[in-house]
Amino acid sequence: MISIKNLGFSYTKKQQPLFHQLDCELQAGSIAGLLGKNGAGKTTLLKLMIGLLFPTEGQVSIMGHQPAKREPSLLQDIYFLPEEFYIPGISMAKYVKANAGFYPRFDQDLLKRLISDFELPETKSLQKLSYGQKKKFLISFALSTKCRLLVLDEPTNGLDIPSKGIFRKVLAGSLDEDQLVIISTHQVRDVENLIDRVLMLENGRFIMQKDLFDISSQLNFSTASSAEGENVLYSEMVPGGYRVITPQTNGNSNVDIELLFNAISHGTEKMKAYVQ
């Protein structure tokens, strides 16, 4: 669905390129997590993917379209929820009336269900809602558009703890096979058990692009009393012992994305070799 080839980008000609020869392929039917430290370029990459920024070299293709052309036939299949958003001072019903028509697959019933799941007050003006409520409404609207590509930038920022759980539930429960969701976040715990492909961005390049299934079949994430041992690829002290990563020997284990992220960011070459 998304194909990025030799992507290069810098904000100004004088600046060092933010991205250089970046390659990526993402297929429909999955939820990809774009992870990276603050300032790694996650939002910039998302904007390049959807055509809000233009690459300085290389190309981006979404469903065969060049996003930089901003063709309506593509835009009606993309919904981008930015971290900081604009919302007009009208009611939810009016917002839906004004905007739903642009998306041919818009699902009104799904929207009602999601608004109910998020316990949003339907009658209030959107401007009177809290930041978190506005975000929940926009997440509901985004999912209801049924766009083939949903791009969510830090969607859990501003959500309270119960809402983060509801977010994971509604996202997993309302997607179709032909949809691709890209979630950019630095709060990896919020998207654990939700994403099925991990993209890690650091210093303008992907340091990892892997399906969670592949990771769990190669690496074992467990808690141990000691961080010593020749098989330990990476360890972190936690209350009551150590979280360790070792080569997988028997089946699969749940992937601890935060530990994996730290391991790749700070870990050894041996660790990195596993995830290339």
The residue from 42, 47, 135, 148 that contacts other proteins (CB under 8 A) is: 47
The residue from 78, 92, 219, 275 that contacts other proteins (CB under 8 A) is: 78
CB of 80 to other proteins, least distance (A): 5
Does 122 bind other proteins (CB under 8 A)? Our answer is no
> Site map for other proteins, 6-45, x if CB under 8 A?
----------------------------------------
CB of 42 to other proteins, least distance (A): 15
User: 215 CB contacts (<8 Å, ≥6 apart)?
Assistant: 198, 255, 260, 275
Q: How many residues bind other proteins (CB under 8 A)?
A: 30
Longest CA pairwise span in the chain (Å): 62
By CB neighbour count within 10 A (0-12 exposed, 13-18 middle, 19+ buried), where does 66 fall?
middle
Does 84 bind other proteins (CB under 8 A)? Our answer is yes
SS3 content of the chain, % helix, strand, coil (to 5): 35, 30, 35
The residue from 3, 10, 56, 76 that contacts other proteins (CB under 8 A) is: 76
Stretch that binds other proteins, among 90-98, 114-122, 171-179, 246-254 (CB under 8 A): 90-98
The residue from 6, 21, 27, 89 that contacts other proteins (CB under 8 A) is: 89
CB of 59 to other proteins, least distance (A): 16
Q: Are the C-beta atoms of 49 and 60 separated by less than 8 Å? A: yes
CB of 185 to other proteins, least distance (A): 18
Instruction: Give the length of the chain.
Output: 276
What Cα–Cα distance (Å) separates residue 244 from each residue in 11, 12, 24, 193, 265? 39, 42, 29, 19, 15
Ranges of beta strands (E only) in the chain are 2-9, 19-26, 30-36, 57-62, 78-81, 149-153, 180-185, 197-202, 205-211, 219-224, 234-238, 241-247
Q: Are the C-beta atoms of 126 and 88 separated by less than 8 Å? A: yes
CB of 54 to other proteins, least distance (A): 6
The residue from 8, 17, 66, 90 that contacts other proteins (CB under 8 A) is: 90
Q: Are the C-beta atoms of 79 and 142 separated by less than 8 Å? A: yes
**Nearer CB in complex with other proteins: 95/274:** 95
The residue from 23, 25, 29, 54 that contacts other proteins (CB under 8 A) is: 54
Does 82 bind other proteins (CB under 8 A)? Our answer is yes
Does 94 bind other proteins (CB under 8 A)? Our answer is yes
Q: Could you say which DSSP state residue 275 is in?
A: H
Q: Could you say which DSSP state residue 17 is in?
A: P
Q: Are the C-beta atoms of 87 and 127 separated by less than 8 Å? A: yes
Does 64 bind other proteins (CB under 8 A)? Our answer is no
Binding site for other proteins (CB under 8 A): 47, 50-54, 70-73, 75-76, 78-80, 82, 84-86, 88-90, 94-95, 97-99, 101-103
